[in-house]
Chain A
């Protein structure tokens, strides 16, 4: 396949001067003393893009994505290595970049065409398609400074894709505009790729990258850390982002204290977990909001991992045990205790308790306490979750039945992490559903 963009050991070095004066000093220094320190924004970038291929660039802020695009466009000068490009480049480097706000939309389009090397006649021929695509009406003959952000990006995009480039470079431009325009631009880019145009994107929209690109390049601190399938790149990227930003709460181990040892205990012995142990490492405090009808009180909650450490951290697929100490203030029948899990945008991810597993809790009389342990296996994506605890039951006042409950929300956060190699990840997506794989190899008959 024919190569349209070829990078070989490309690198960009910036010279950082702490003070502007230093720049002058270095310029005028008779023996050429250096006053700057070097910063490699990009180093050792080598990859080829065949014709018609779509490449996505991934990486955190400051990883060098935009610098790389600017180098490919030829706006910045390479410090080392080579970049070869074949064909006309159309670039959307930033919203409205390259447009002059004093000029009308039409004039800007014509000028853009001239920069790209089209003649006036060619541009006039393409003009109707551009105006039609941008769909900004009479504003095409108004200076661009009065444009709304949406109109700006519409025209910029219309101009970039309708000039029949051999190479299209798009930096974050897909994320602007309303949903209709986003879809339209999405489809257009797809068509352009199919028609044989080479594309390079930078986007933080993982879905866009996944559906548009054949190849993804992952940049970290100016170097390529992965190049290959977009799905794999997105996985590596999202894990590396999480690793960097999530605070993992420490796990603490407390030596269990037998109930006999605490002399003032008014609870009888308990094989699940002595109430004093729950209260001693209670995650609830005075500020915790307790909702409910008052028939029951959640006195304490304790969260342990499988090694008996008090923690809010679970490795993916690891089980945490939620202990709850509940006191009945009246006679309560049909008690149900549940743990609820919510993600960072409030999605109710999971809720489960004794009723869901057909575990019956006997009726409680006033003053009686209940200890419940719910083990939850965190087969969910590596993220932060908030959890809540709720207890429900029926109480009677005379002949009437009441639904009584007590509830505590917004506990946590529980941090789920994944630290093993990405290739061993047990599932993709939000949560792991029970699944299984079977296979048979069939030999070709004859």
Chain B
């Protein structure tokens, strides 16, 4: 009974949140545009930096891993192009890490809005998420085209990509809510997160294949949510037909749990934001 009550109240909270998003859609739009603008105004290449940055990163990694370390992709990689394969894994990672790292400070940055008006602060992390999503959508487009040209095949699996993007976004949103609200109380969270993300990158099979990890440690790899994300992106972009459902299910559960948990933490801490800022 208690569980059902909880579920109903959860539904109410979710409905209220969606209503709030709809009521404040203009503000959300403004916040997203501001974020996009602030990132690129005054720079000559503007929005192209959204592409230039990951491309340069990928070229550097490709040079190091492919040419210096002579890493070769196994048959399960789906492509021979190390660059393309890396790009598929790196794009979601950048989406995740950039959004979270930016969001951890977002409440502190908008201190004036929170302390001096009744501002729906939960929209701030959402706005950064949306702005980054737009940013990376450009990337996904480019990668998609590159994948089709290089692998010379276009499978139905590419339709899974939006699903993965959505599930990853859910995960990021919950994670952002959690770290941003906690960072208000404990500014060390931001620093811890930077260290964590720096390490997390290497514990996620982005620059290496999961198969390269020793058998015994592979289960450990599966504890990492980003493992499923990177795998899922690769599977759909490179058109590898295997293990889709399992990974997606795990990711779905992770996304929902993260959103609920993050939302819960944020909601609990929100009344004291004004005081702590």
Measured between alpha carbons, how far is A93 from B113 in the docked complex, in Å?
11
Measured between alpha carbons, how far is A358 from B274 in the docked complex, in Å?
68
Q: A75-B118, A75-B274, A76-B275 are in contact. Are A114 and B24 (CB under 8 A)?
A: yes
Per-residue 0/1 for A79-99: is the Cβ within 8 Å of any B Cβ (1 yes, 0 no)?
A: 000000000010101100110
Smallest CB separation, B38 vs chain A (Å) = 7
Measured between alpha carbons, how far is A91 from B185 in the docked complex, in Å?
26
B188 near A24 with CB under 8 A, answer yes
A77 near B271 with CB under 8 A, answer yes
Residue ID in chain A nearest B115 by CB atoms: A75
Residue ID in chain B nearest A77 by CB atoms: B271
For the residues of A in contact with B, the DSSP-based class is: mixed
B117 within 8 A of A: yes
Q: A24-B188, A76-B274, A107-B30 are in contact. Are A115 and B38 (CB under 8 A)?
A: no
Most buried by B among A14, A73, A100: A100
Instruction: Identify A114's interface contact among B27, B116, B186, B271, CB under 8 A.
Output: B27
For the residues of B in contact with A, the DSSP-based class is: helix
A98 near B38 with CB under 8 A, answer no
B26 near A114 with CB under 8 A, answer yes
A364 within 8 A of B: no
A129 within 8 A of B: no
A110 near B26 with CB under 8 A, answer yes
Measured between alpha carbons, how far is A110 from B33 in the docked complex, in Å?
15
- Chain B residues near A100: list those with CB within 8 A: 30, 34, 110, 113
B119 within 8 A of A: yes
B275 near A27 with CB under 8 A, answer no
B117 near A75 with CB under 8 A, answer yes
A70 within 8 A of B: yes
A117 within 8 A of B: yes
Per-residue 0/1 for B173-193: is the Cβ within 8 Å of any A Cβ (1 yes, 0 no)?
A: 000000000000111100000
A98 near B117 with CB under 8 A, answer yes
Smallest CB separation, B173 vs chain A (Å) = 20
Measured between alpha carbons, how far is A74 from B274 in the docked complex, in Å?
10
Residue ID in chain B nearest A97 by CB atoms: B116
Measured between alpha carbons, how far is A89 from B116 in the docked complex, in Å?
13
A114 near B23 with CB under 8 A, answer yes
Smallest CB separation, A83 vs chain B (Å) = 13
Instruction: Identify A98's interface contact among B26, B113, B186, B187, CB under 8 A.
Output: B113
- Chain A residues near B24: list those with CB within 8 A: 111, 114-115
A117 near B275 with CB under 8 A, answer no
A103 near B30 with CB under 8 A, answer yes
B46 within 8 A of A: no
- Chain B residues near A103: list those with CB within 8 A: 30, 34
A97 near B186 with CB under 8 A, answer no
A93 near B117 with CB under 8 A, answer yes
A410 within 8 A of B: no
A-B contact pairs, 11 of them (CB 8 A): A14-B275, A73-B118, A75-B118, A75-B274, A98-B112, A98-B116, A98-B117, A100-B30, A102-B34, A114-B24, A115-B24
